[in-house]
Structure 1
Amino acid sequence: MNRKHATRSRGRVIGTAAASLCLLLAVTACGTTSENSGKGQGKATAAKCDGPGGKYVIGMSQANVAEPYRQRMDDDIRAAAAKVPQFEVKFADAAQDNAKQVSDVENFLTQQVNLLIISPNEATPLTAVVKKAYDKGIPVLVLDRKVDGDAYTSFIGADNKDIGRQAGRYVAEQLLPNGGNLVELKGLPGSTPAQERSDGFHETLGSKVRTVATGVGDWLREKGQQQLDAILKANPEIDVVYSHNDPMAEGAYLAAKAAGRESKIKFIGIDALPIPSGGVKAVEQGRISATFTYPTGGKEAIAAAKTLLVDCKHVEKKQTLPTQLITKENAERVYREANG
């Protein structure tokens, strides 16, 4: 090979390598937001963002709407989405059925929604289908209740373990400083708020307070009433009922009232919905001693969806919402401020 031909050959090799490098860089540059930033956005979030000129269908998979809290969550999502002209939200109610919620999400995937919002009925049974959506490049916002692992775009919710700790301290320091007997009414066992609200509560409850019975009310008022009705018959001395949400606390109050024991028992709940039938009014009117605010995350979810789909930006992997202790002293003010 003569020197001139060798020079041309080396030039072609270098040119080919340079072209390959440019192609590689171009492909890398077209990677998704998550691939380039490590923010966990899903595989095709950036590619599916058409900006302000796009139209987007959002699927909202709700665990159930029998709980007032969950109906309020849907209402908050609906109200926030109405302010974003690019959004259409489709709602599905799983009615506390894991298999139905899996099917609801599968239907949303078939419909090729642009983003999925889900409040899982229970963590483990919903993990695989949430991961399936996420792996397909659909941004997934998980509200209130968690799934296993981290195959989702963002979790939005309050710190349930911290709420439990606050409730435990309130009982130990304010209601039963000298000790006493307690009943715990738990939410749906496979849901993360039930697990975390119980774990946090017992971390701070102390040794003076004795848990004499537990019941599972599945977050529902009538089941909370049924559970405490049975517990009252077996336990003549109960000082406090710690309920994982306000509807179960209200149900427990009704059971105690039917037994003529409501004046001897203090009731604590969680959610503090600022509606006439909600926990804030129950505290103000004296049926419940205390509750804790637990934001639905509905407006925050739509804000995150707008950031992802319209603004073409990333969102944080976790957004922790604030909570507040509600007692007789501040219930009226909190209710007034929440309703303008």
Structure 2
Amino acid sequence: MSNPLARRGFLVGGAVIGAGALVTACTSNEPAAQPSAAAAPSNAPAAGSGNDTPGEKVVIGFSAPAADHGWIAAIAKNAEAAAKQYTDVEFKPVEPTNDINAQISAVESLIAAKVSALVILPNDGQQLNQIARRASDAGIPVVNLDRVFPDKLSYRTWIGGDNYGMGVAAGHYIGKRLKDKGVADPVILEIQGIATLPLTQDRSKGFADALKTYGFSVTAQQDAQFTVESGTEVAGNLLQAHKKIDAIWNHDDDQGIGVLAAIKEAGRNEFFMVGGAGSANAMRDIQAGTGVLEATVTYSPTMASSAVRLARLIAQGKGMSDLVENEVPQSITLASETITKENVAEYLPLGFES
């Protein structure tokens, strides 16, 4: 893919290369070298179908929470940037909001406008499930972004990060570091995002499962609501409650700004910390190597770029050109990379700003 923006659309924020390659394949015009004719089976499918070639004009509606958070802001920017790459796409975003009823009303307006496809990042999948189902029942394919709708009939395709895998990546980094240091019975703290969300619960489960393989467990866990202010408050409380800490996993680099501020204020540095999502701020801290933040595990907002591209293919009746199947898959899960000082230079230009 020669377009630099298109490439950034799939790799920014540290999405795992393998997963990025899978989704990039849906628009690739230059497939990898094929085996020779003698080696290929006679019934082998044709190579890439040129999905970037302009096709039927489609209108893609887009709804997401308010961009009051670096990751959410990057979601909106990635979606818009992806849509602008196609002359056959009319991008129709609605006002972003953190109010459930307002988001339902916004999606209702897109259904009434009879858009060709919908990309929805719901504030809460459970509460937005009914309106997504209404869109699907009206014949409008829904690409469910990240926070999943519980009813599979409510969406055509889901694309999102691997929340469980994110926790696993953080758990393995912390577990291995503590084992290598010979720490026994470590104090490990976990600062979640919004505790009631399934994505947070998946992250926590992955973290606990990975730590268990080293014989470790989480000492204390508290949620910080994905905000800087809450991150500061929660971290301050945890620091006061634990006079000795060995490691902290903070689920979200945006709230991590507040977490790190509280740590600096307390003058604590006897532990190391792992972040989450892959923000540019976190990467710069990791690169500097002067604080407690040693790593972050990615959860890339580039999934929004991919969601828009998938919505276009679905609305135009196309599949992913590097796959044998004629239809876009029902679900695509991106993987989580671990960014450390050793590889941060590779990812830093691709991080999102908090």
TM-score, scaled to structure 2: 0.74
The runs of at least 4 consecutive aligned structure 1 residues that moved more than 6 Å come to: none
The equivalences for 1:168-247 within 5 A come to: 168-175=171-178, 178=183, 179-206=185-212, 208-247=215-254
User: Alignment partner for residue 342 of structure 2, among 324, 329, 333?
Assistant: 329
| Post-superposition CA distance 1:277-301 (Å, at most 9, x none) | 3x32232133421111222212211
SS in 2 for 1:180: coil
SS in 2 for 1:264: coil
Change (3 A) 1:58 1:224: same
Question: Following TM superposition, by how much is the alpha carbon of 1:79 offset from its aligned partner in structure 2, in angstroms?
Answer: 0.9
> CA–CA distance in 2 between the matches of 1:184 and 1:244?
8
Question: Following TM superposition, by how much is the alpha carbon of 1:233 offset from its aligned partner in structure 2, in angstroms?
Answer: 2.0
Question: Is 1:301 equivalent to 2:307 in the alignment?
Answer: yes
Question: Following TM superposition, by how much is the alpha carbon of 1:89 offset from its aligned partner in structure 2, in angstroms?
Answer: 1.8
Hey, what does 2:8 align to over in structure 1? none
Change (3 A) 1:103 1:162: same
Q: Return the letter of the residue paired with 1:327.
A: T
Aligned residues: 285
Hey, what does 1:55 align to over in structure 2? 57
SS in 1 for 2:143: strand
TM-score, scaled to structure 1: 0.77
Hey, what does 1:253 align to over in structure 2? 260
SS in 1 for 2:226: coil
**Sequence identity percentage:** 28
CA contact (8 A) 2:172 2:211 kept: yes
> CA–CA distance in 2 between the matches of 1:147 and 1:283?
35
Hey, what does 1:158 align to over in structure 2? 161
Hey, what does 1:290 align to over in structure 2? 295
> CA–CA distance in 2 between the matches of 1:337 and 1:119?
22
Hey, what does 1:121 align to over in structure 2? 123
Change (3 A) 1:257 1:209: farther
> CA–CA distance in 2 between the matches of 1:243 and 1:74?
24
> CA–CA distance in 1 between the matches of 2:300 and 2:350?
15
Return 5+ residue gaps in structure 2 as ranges: 1-52, 320-326
| Post-superposition CA distance 1:239-280 (Å, at most 9, x none) | 22211111122321111111111x22322111113x4x3x32
CA contact (8 A) 2:283 2:351 kept: no
| Post-superposition CA distance 1:21-65 (Å, at most 9, x none) | xxxxxxxxxxxxxxxxxxxxxxxxxxxxxx956432222111231
Hey, what does 1:14 align to over in structure 2? none
Change (3 A) 1:302 1:200: same
Hey, what does 2:104 align to over in structure 1? 102
CA contact (8 A) 2:235 2:263 kept: yes
> CA–CA distance in 1 between the matches of 2:95 and 2:230?
20
SS in 2 for 1:205: helix
> CA–CA distance in 2 between the matches of 1:254 and 1:239?
18
CA contact (8 A) 1:143 1:157 kept: yes
Alignment RMSD (CA, Å): 2.3
Larger Rg: 1
